[in-house]
Amino acid sequence: MNQKNLSITIKKFGKKNELVLLLFNGLFLILGLLSLFLNWRNAIAIILIFVLVFLDKKFRIKFSILSIIYVVSIILISQIPEIEFVEILATSILFSPLFFYKSSLESIKDYQKNDCFEVFYLDSSRLKCLHTEDNDYKSYALNPKQFLKTFRVNEINSFGFERNNLLIVTSKFIIRPRELNAQNIEKIQSFVEENFPDKLNLESEHHKALKNESEMYLSKLLLVLPLILVFIVIYFFCDNGRNQLVSYSSIAVTMLFYIFLIIKIKRKK
């Protein structure tokens, strides 16, 4: 008789990570408060953080749009006399833990618990595992529990097992479950062989997924690169934003690039 589900748990998982995350958040906030003694006007960065929190909570705006609002706001704020672009940017980064206050509160509650954490679950309808998109290792190291994702099994095209590694291919992306040892992989492979033999080691699906993944990384690079370039141009070639003509022209060109990119992506779809 086939096993109906498979569950893999780890005791006291992520406790050290949660403690490190809380210490980092506390250190950032202390440094942020100390920075206000250098220039109290940089306290406007705190107001900006609360505005972003309000927009996120009230309108559920995408993080990418919030990032654009943040960048434009920092540039506009730096136009205020006696406020430097680099200072307001650094201050807002130091107070950024305020934006993720919910995650910090959850970390405090979880740290006080002494329980097991389920790192992998699979049955006939759903898959649950630790999955890092874009190989976000730094965020994962600080708070791995937030990367617990749930997927529908009918969206999975193939389970690939090779050298104690598990690669799960869907129609849109590749899932690479974390925190699994060799014994865990063996259990998963046996479970898949019994319950999903038609989804086992399909090479064509793996090659197709890897190609799509490479194209996705290139698209995301094109989204981030213009923001980095406009920061460099404004800081080094626009006298820290004081040359308004070149600054606004750089922002306008960047916005036109994003509009062109969005139109091209929609046409491709």
Query: In this structure, are 84 and 30 located in the same domain?
Result: yes
C-alpha 80/C-alpha 211 separation (Å) is 47
For residue 228, the Cα-to-chain-centroid distance in whole angstroms is 18
C-alpha 147/C-alpha 144 separation (Å) is 6
Last residue of a domain, one of 186, 206, 226: 206
Angle of CA points 206, 212, 218, to nearest 5°: 140
State residue 264 phi and psi, 5-degree precision.
-65, -40
10, 116 in Cβ contact below 8 A?
yes
What secondary structure does DSSP assign to 103-115, as a single string?
HHHHHHHHHT---
Query: In this structure, are 163 and 222 located in the same domain?
Result: no
The H-or-E segment that residue 121 falls in is: strand 116-122
Q: Cα dihedral sign for 236, 230, 77, 99?
A: negative
Q: What is the pLDDT along the chain (269 residues), one digit of tens a residue?
A: 466 889 999 887 877 777 777 888 889 889 988 888 888 887 888 888 888 888 877 777 777 788 788 888 888 888 887 777 778 888 888 888 887 777 777 766 766 666 788 999 999 899 999 988 766 677 777 778 888 999 999 888 888 887 778 888 887 778 889 999 999 999 999 999 898 888 876 666 666 666 666 666 666 677 777 777 877 777 777 766 667 777 777 778 878 877 777 776 666 55
Query: In this structure, are 21 and 87 located in the same domain?
Result: yes
Query: In this structure, are 44 and 95 located in the same domain?
Result: yes
- CATH number for the domain spanning 168: value is 2.30.29
Last residue of a domain, one of 169, 184, 206: 206
C-alpha 201/C-alpha 207 separation (Å) is 11
> How much is the pLDDT for 212?
67
> How much is the pLDDT for 63?
72
Query: In this structure, are 232 and 182 located in the same domain?
Result: no
Last residue of a domain, one of 107, 136, 167: 107
* Tokens of residue 97, six digits: 């833990």
Query: In this structure, are 87 and 133 located in the same domain?
Result: no
Question: For residues 78, 63, 222 and 131, what is the CA-based torsion angle, rounded to 10 degrees?
Answer: 140
C-alpha 164/C-alpha 184 separation (Å) is 9
> How much is the pLDDT for 268?
58
How much helix, strand and coil, in percent to the nearest 5, is found in the chain?
Answer: 65, 15, 20
159, 192 in Cβ contact below 8 A?
yes
In a domain, 112, yes or no: no
What lies within 8 Å, CB to CB, of 16 at 6+ separation is: none
Expressed as residue numbers, the domain containing 217 is 212-268
Query: In this structure, are 260 and 222 located in the same domain?
Result: yes
C-alpha 146/C-alpha 14 separation (Å) is 10
> How much is the pLDDT for 217?
65
The pTM for the full model equals 0.55
What lies within 8 Å, CB to CB, of 183 at 6+ separation is: none
In a domain, 1, yes or no: no
> How much is the pLDDT for 239?
66
Cα–Cα distances in angstroms (integers) from residue 215 to residues 27, 42, 210, 220, 222, in the given order: 38, 40, 9, 9, 11
Q: Count the neighbouring beta carbons within 10 Å of the beta carbon of residue 18.
A: 23
In a domain, 200, yes or no: yes
> How much is the pLDDT for 79?
81
C-alpha 5/C-alpha 265 separation (Å) is 40
> How much is the pLDDT for 1?
46
Number of domains within the chain: 3
